[in-house]
Amino acid sequence: MTAPTMKVEAEPASPTPTVSTTVQHHAAPKSGRRAVRRHRRGPPGGVVYARSAILLDPFTGQVLYEKNSGDAAPIASLTKLMTDLVFLEQKPDLSRSVEVTTAELSGAGRTKLRNHEMVRLEDLLHMSLMCSDNVATRVLVRESGLPPQEFLAAMNRKAMELELGGTHFVEFTGLDQRNVSTAADVARLLRVAAENPNFSAISTTRSYDFRSASRAHHVVNTNRLLYGKRYEILGGKTGFINEAGYCVATWVRAQGHDLIAVVLGAPTNATRFADVVRLVQRTITPGLVSTRS
């Protein structure tokens, strides 16, 4: 299946310290001009910059915040939440080594995998969930025991079973903008995926080292929230293509509260994580109430 050409997710996994580049000028303003003090504008409504978002309690389903959470939009590599869930439901032998071929490499974007490289399914699953490797994901689908069209049908059937009415998939990686969902649907999908111990363990791993039959690999997680000490992260996935913007779905435990946050269509890599932090902070701060925006 040929996907349209678009920008593939390629982002730093660990947080980069923010360095201020603002230079303060102390010279007096020119005569006749008034010095204007500029204030940075906050996000619309004071919460998120993203086009759509949701925060909910994963155990009760209570929605604590939403913004356009029912609007269907491209979800980029959040698609892999469903792809890897369906793959794991096939009960694969994760210790089995399989070959990477040109069929998976073609048009898949950036990858550390090479043609004819022999890699364990467990290692490919780490690459798919942690750094959104599209080649690894395609190999997993090929080795699932299901023909490609049956695997895709299983993804859409699973969406129907979970009552994800705004969700539809046309391929496995998220490269195609026709893979769509809503913030509310993605939150429910993450809730189900996180029940799988393999998914939970891998998606919360900061870094992972393994060796294929021919060489060593080092994988880092693209979810920046894992690298801070503010919250405990119990699961998650990032995604990006131009049409989707920057997306993230994550399960957060903060001050004894379990919360699932989904942000779709944030304008920058850093903004999606800052949006999550604002959503969580406004909820665990005493006196704040549920909001729909």
By CB neighbour count within 10 A (0-12 exposed, 13-18 middle, 19+ buried), where does 261 fall?
buried
pLDDT band at 115 (very low <50, low <70, confident <90, very high): very high
pLDDT reading at 253 higher than 60: yes
Whether 226 maps to a domain, the answer reads yes
Tell me what the mean pLDDT of segment 58-71 comes to: 96
Distance, in Å, from the CA atom of 272 to the CA atom of 52, rounded to the nearest integer, reads 11
In a domain, 167, yes or no: yes
- Domain range for 240 is 50-106+114-292
Res 39: pLDDT: 43
229 labeled binding residue: no
Q: Which residues are catalytic?
A: 77, 80, 132
Asked if residue 25 belongs to a domain, the reply is no
Q: Let me know if residue 22 belongs to a domain.
A: no
pLDDT at 170 over 90: yes
Among 6, 50, 19, 47, residue whose Cα is nearest residue 269: 50
- Position 237 scores a pLDDT of 98
pLDDT, tens only, 21-50: 333 333 444 444 444 444 456 676 678 999
Backbone angles phi, psi at 79, to 5 degrees: -50, -35
Domain count for the chain: 1
- If you compute the radius of gyration of the chain from its CA atoms, what whole number of angstroms results? 20
pLDDT of residue 284: 83
3 pLDDT higher than 50: no
Tell me: pLDDT of 9 over 70: no
Question: Is residue 29 in a domain?
Answer: no
Is residue 1 a part of any domain in this protein? Answer: no
Question: For the domain that residue 219 is a member of, what is the CATH number?
Answer: 3.40.710.10
Q: Would you say residue 30 lies in a domain?
A: no
Query: Is residue 35 domain-resident?
Result: no
Mean pLDDT computed over every residue of the chain: 87
Beta-ladder partners of 56: 63, 260
